[in-house]
Amino acid sequence: MSRIGKLPIIIPDGVQVTVSDKNIVTVKGKLGELQQVVDPAITIKINDGNILFERHTEQKNHKSMHGLYRALIANMIHGVSEGYKIVQELVGVGYKVTASGQVLELSVGYSHNIAFELPDEVKVEAKTERGKSPTITLTSHDKQLIGQVAAKIRSFRKPEPYKGKGIRFQGEEIKKKAGKVASE
């Protein structure tokens, strides 16, 4: 049996979970509402504030879906109750970021600025402190969406391995390479 799939999910206070007859799970909380379609091979049971997932067969794809859907629903419940936060740093001379509404404007070493419009579900905050790298803080209740947005922002200028300049996640370690050595 799947080690992750067999674990129950405890529903916190203030979160409502409903399962429709077409295996659509809806999770509502103080931060928002999320939906997920679950494969018919997985059965969802809600009782006594817990959610249990069961599969009908021992096929390999059913085993993998068992843990997958349990993890997705657990992430949805965490998102609508507590939310997710991702912090990114801009490392490089002259790199700047400004946020106005849902538009993020990046100056990361190109001849032009990059204007990136964010989805409504993602809130952004840009902060520049003297002597520190500018930071972008993303918050949302949808883990998949916030991860996708953060990856897209990082793709505008990935950290390069020689000096470490670029957009990186806070706390991310960049393996640095040695540059060319002049021969004598």
- The single-letter DSSP state of residue 62 is H
pLDDT in tens, 3-29: 888 899 999 999 999 999 888 999 999
The DSSP output letter for 109 is S
The pLDDT value recorded for residue 1 is: 47
pTM of the model: 0.87
CA distance 60 to 65: 9
User: What is 84-169's CATH number, 3.40.50.1370, 3.40.190.10, 3.20.20.80, 3.90.930.12?
Assistant: 3.90.930.12
Instruction: For CATH 3.90.930.12, list the domain ranges present in the chain.
Output: 9-81, 84-169
Among 156, 142, 177, residue whose Cα is nearest residue 88:
156
9-81 CATH, one of 3.90.930.12, 3.40.50.300, 3.30.70.141, 3.40.228.10? 3.90.930.12
Residue numbers in the chain where pLDDT is lower than 50: 1
Q: Residue 33 gets which letter from DSSP?
A: E
pLDDT of residue 58: 87
pLDDT of residue 184: 63
pLDDT of residue 2: 57
| Matching residue, tokens 């399962």 | 19
The pLDDT tens digits for 143-170 are 999 999 999 999 999 999 998 899 999 9
Residue 25 bridge partners (DSSP): 19, 36
- Residue 51 near residue 45 (C-beta atoms within 8 A): yes
